[in-house]
Structure 1
Amino acid sequence: MNKDSEWFDFGLDKQAEERAKMLHENSTIIDLLFQGPLSPSAIPDEVSAELKQAYEPYRNDPHTYSSLPRKGLLDKALIGGLPQFKEEWYQSGITAGNRQLSLTNHESIIKSMAEVQVQFDTFDWLIKVKTAQDIRYAKENGLKAGIITSQESVGLQTDLTLLDALYDFGLRVLQLTYNRQDYVGAGCAEKSNAGLTNFGIDLIAHLNQRGILIDTSHCGKQTTLDACHYSNKPVIASHTGVENIYPHMRCKSDEEFKAIAETGGVIGVFAMPWFIHEEPNHTTIDHVLDHIDYLVKLVGEDHVGIGTDWPMSDLTWSLVYFKEHIAPLLGFASGDGPSTELVKGLEKYSSFINITRGLVKRGYGDEQIQKILGLNWLSVFEEVCG
């Protein structure tokens, strides 16, 4: 671990610290909701100020204004102007993380495909994942692997041929809904809890046939249960938390967790301060570990993974704007959802070893830790995607 990273005090002795370090270095680590590798605290102040000045003319166009900083950071990284992009990923120890497509409409699909592909074309250290073997190859050869995913399906409407084209591009994980109702089913912010639509049931069958992982993270309870019922392949929740620890709409019930596990699926625990603990300004990595502990006890060590979802590759001023102007449009309550708060011990992706250190502190064995860090994701990915 880079000593510039935030070192969370677990009170480990020297032997335990060495064990955690070796485990972290030797493990195949997969973050299935990887918003990194950057975070606001990893980005130089002068870069933040430069982009704020450049994008100020767009301030009255909320969607454009809030999306430009992330794109500007990537553009800088692509031309070598932001070395932190590679440095943070390598310091994190994460082998594979997702590269997200936006499937909100046809325009966003095209733009996000280009944005994702240019990363693979430009960075010689980043490879596209189509099978589990690609992740193994990355680990063996000191590379990083990008798993192409999407958090929404609404832009597909009911066009399964478009889904086939996205599969050919590399899409391997598809979230059914994002908070609200769509063509597929009801999201977690829908009071109706209506479950899957008829098209949603057809989509499940098509995803199974093509070899695309079904993600239920932002789905409502009945949609999650329906997905588990109708799927003949493992179902996942790439990034969620435990409702019985903190009752947020983005957390799931024991019934859902058991249903996912019964399909052979995996549940990823997120590091979202507002969703896992009642005081977002006082959320630590111990609170994240509490959710992991609960799930291991409930469904077993073979069904738990990590999908941090935070921090974002974004800028502080942009995140504040997003919370005030965009989050309410996505189904989040006023004042709720992504902003500037961080989990203490995971302020940057280069601090990711704190998860491994925390699992050591809590008495997990080496095999258990390796499963939670990535082998469970690798196993389910191989079963569904090949």
Structure 2
Amino acid sequence: MSDRQERYDFHLTTEQEERAQELHDRSIVIDLLFQGPLSPSVIPTNLSDRIKEECEPLREDPMAYSALPAKRLRQLSVRGELPEFKDEWYRSGITAGNRELDLSSPEAIMTSMGEAQEQFDRFPWLVKALTAADIREAKRNNLKAGILTAQDPAGLGRNLDLLEALHGFGLRVLQLTYNNQNLIASGCMEPANGGVSAFGMKFICRLNELRIVVDTSHCGARTTLDACRLSTQPVIASHTGAEAVYPHRRCKSDDELRAIAATGGVIGVFAMPWFIHEDPNATTIDHVLDHIDYIVRLVGVDHVGIGTDWPMSDVDWSLVYFKEHIAPKLGFAQGDGPSTELIQGLERYGLFINFTRGLVARGYDDEEIEKIIGGNWLRVFEQVWGR
């Protein structure tokens, strides 16, 4: 089935379809929580089965069993044995997407740095985005840009010097905490809602000095408000939703959304079926667009972006296992974590144009759409990283 046949039905006219395609093609498109470009539906079934056989001896080690499939997919991709990796990224039209570092432990830091750098070294079409100009140049040259980000800084401990080393490697966006409490702040799943600690104040100051963007996506409400008060640079939420649209703890209140916008920051709306709508099996891209619409009305079109966070570069059976055995250990409520549910209209990254098509359907003009699908992120990058 072709991409055009798979596209979500927004009831666009032929003229609107042509406008959306032209706009998507010419724009800088940024997904700031880009788990792709692979997704379960583009991974060959025989490959998924082969990886499952390899994983079976690891069943007694849940973390290793869960992590191996994604690791194998990365290895196959960089060796050129999984052409779907490049094909799907180019089919999506995404100019820049994050390449995530794992800073949860010293061992994870070393491993993920090596894995990320291998992609930049082995893919001639992928460049490391250190400045906003790198993203613009990638677009001009029909290349793709990878933005180094991280979600869980727990492995840094109190060593602020490591931040400087990571910035030198290319880290450009860092979240303060991932769901739970750490030395820096309280996450969104912490009942105490403790906010930013005394050390966290120093941490945010150092992020500002190094010109690393402060990300509050998995932060608690008070942490988000504290970060916006303390930071001298724009604060973002790379992937979240509007609590007023769907009351989930991973979504942000109106006060948080206003505070982020007041810093000059951007709120990236995610495409996580169980975080944006009450029925994860009947969640569509229209529900994602409802969150975008709400935030635009609340804080203005200059402060909204996209950070899908879904689907994952993984295989279906591994995602089911992750939800049952791993997600609860990461602070997710029972049954409330990554699995096989998909947004109808974003079943794979090659359908990313459905964001542009949906925004056309909802009456946004070209300038507004360009901002939402990438321009607003680029503005923040220019301000924080430099042009």
TM over 0.5: yes
Output aligned runs, 1:127-276, within 5 Å: 127-276=127-276
Separation of aligned partners in 2, 1:346 and 1:301:
22
Code of the aligned partner of 2:350: S
Kept in 2: contact 1:5–1:351 (CA 8 A): no
2:343 paired with 1:358? no
Cα offset, 1:46, TM superposition: 0.5
Separation of aligned partners in 1, 2:333 and 2:263:
32
Output aligned runs, 1:89-104, within 5 Å: 89-104=89-104
Separation of aligned partners in 2, 1:175 and 1:67:
22
Output aligned runs, 1:1-386, within 5 Å: 3=3, 6-386=6-386
Code of the aligned partner of 1:142: N
Residues 178-233 of structure 1, C-alpha deviation per residue, up to 9 Å, x if partnerless?
00000100000000000000010001110000000000000000000000000010
Cα offset, 1:3, TM superposition: 2.5
> How much is the aligned-residue C-alpha RMSD, in angstroms?
0.9
Residues 253-276 of structure 1, C-alpha deviation per residue, up to 9 Å, x if partnerless?
000000000000000000000000
Kept in 2: contact 1:195–1:222 (CA 8 A): yes
Cα offset, 1:4, TM superposition: 6.7
Task: Report the CA distance shift for 1:19/1:78 in structure 2 as closer, same or farther (over 3 A).
Answer: same
Output the TM-score relative to the length of structure 1.
0.99
Residues 261-318 of structure 1, C-alpha deviation per residue, up to 9 Å, x if partnerless?
0000000000000000000000000000000000000000000000000000000000
Code of the aligned partner of 2:264: G
Kept in 1: contact 2:10–2:361 (CA 8 A): yes
Cα offset, 1:2, TM superposition: 5.4
Cα offset, 1:5, TM superposition: 6.9
**Moved beyond 6 Å, runs of 4+:** none
Output the TM-score relative to the length of structure 2.
0.99
Kept in 2: contact 1:5–1:348 (CA 8 A): no
Kept in 2: contact 1:6–1:346 (CA 8 A): no
Secondary structure (helix, strand or coil) at the match of 1:100 reads strand
Kept in 2: contact 1:127–1:138 (CA 8 A): yes
Code of the aligned partner of 2:147: I
Kept in 1: contact 2:3–2:350 (CA 8 A): no
Kept in 1: contact 2:37–2:85 (CA 8 A): yes
Secondary structure (helix, strand or coil) at the match of 1:73 reads helix
Kept in 2: contact 1:217–1:239 (CA 8 A): yes
Secondary structure (helix, strand or coil) at the match of 2:241 reads strand
* Identity across matched positions, percent: 65
Code of the aligned partner of 1:113: M
Separation of aligned partners in 2, 1:185 and 1:285:
32
Code of the aligned partner of 2:346: L
Cα offset, 1:6, TM superposition: 2.5
Residues 78-113 of structure 1, C-alpha deviation per residue, up to 9 Å, x if partnerless?
111110000000000000000000001100000000
Cα offset, 1:59, TM superposition: 1.2
Cα offset, 1:55, TM superposition: 1.2
Code of the aligned partner of 1:153: P
Code of the aligned partner of 1:368: E
What is the count of residue pairs matched by the alignment? 386
Cα offset, 1:385, TM superposition: 1.0
Task: After superposing the two structures, state which structure 1 stretch, 303-312 or 54-63, moved more.
Answer: 54-63
Kept in 2: contact 1:5–1:350 (CA 8 A): no
Code of the aligned partner of 1:302: D
Task: After superposing the two structures, state which structure 1 stretch, 60-69 or 107-116, moved more.
Answer: 60-69
Separation of aligned partners in 1, 2:365 and 2:356:
11
Separation of aligned partners in 2, 1:3 and 1:183:
46
Separation of aligned partners in 2, 1:6 and 1:328:
34
